[in-house]
Amino acid sequence: MVQMVKQKVIKRSRLKALSGLLGIILTITGWAISNTEQLDPIKKVIAPKYDIAMGTWRNMTKKDFVLRPGDKGFSEMKDLFDHGRRTLIPVEGQQLSDAWLQIKRLHNWDITQFKTLDSRVSMVEAKPHPVKAITLEIQSSNFRTFTVPSVHSIEEGIQSFYLKTPIFKAGAYIFWVGIAIIVNVINK
């Protein structure tokens, strides 16, 4: 009887130690994931849309490029532009055009096509080096055809929307699961 009690205590302490170790490993892994945007294996698992969106943007910088539903990268660009129009804030001292205000008020901007009308390299006020800029025509089923005269530096938006946010969320989730396990082990 005493032997059985000792065995249960030993099993419980081993389980507690293993659980604590798992919690520590998850905590470190979560922290590492949320701080490693450049590791391709992690990026491919946690943020698979990032590479698709970047490749699509590179294609969009070619004059007369057309992107339609069903094309690789269409849904990524549609989601990115929809997010952008919802979070669009005018540059200080400027106002949004009437068209942008109307688009911003749409419940759902149903984009049906992107077309690059012009592609160029230009200097942008906030950048110390020339950047690719395009004139983009956007067609939708619930708004008139809309032309954006200068779309540039979209790589930053892609990185934020498709890479940094998902990696941070995944890392934070794993980190806090690890912390919860450790707290649970300590309180037992």
Residue-wise pLDDT for 44-58, tens only, equals: 777 788 889 989 989
The pLDDT > 90 percentage for the chain reads: 16
The band of 4, judged by pLDDT with boundaries at 50, 70 and 90, is low
pLDDT tens per residue, range 134-187: 888 999 998 888 888 777 667 777 877 777 776 667 777 777 777 777 777 777
Query: Which structure tokens are listed for 138?
Result: 């956007």
Other C-beta atoms within 10 Å of 26: how many? 20
The band of 2, judged by pLDDT with boundaries at 50, 70 and 90, is low
Asked if 152 contacts 101 with a C-beta cutoff of 8 angstroms, the reply is no
Query: Which structure tokens are listed for 185?
Result: 């082990």
Q: Where are the domains of the chain?
A: 2-38+166-187, 41-164
Other C-beta atoms within 10 Å of 129: how many? 7
pLDDT at 89 over 80: no
Q: Measuring CA to CA, how many Å separate 146 from each of 35, 53, 64, 157, 179?
A: 38, 21, 16, 20, 49
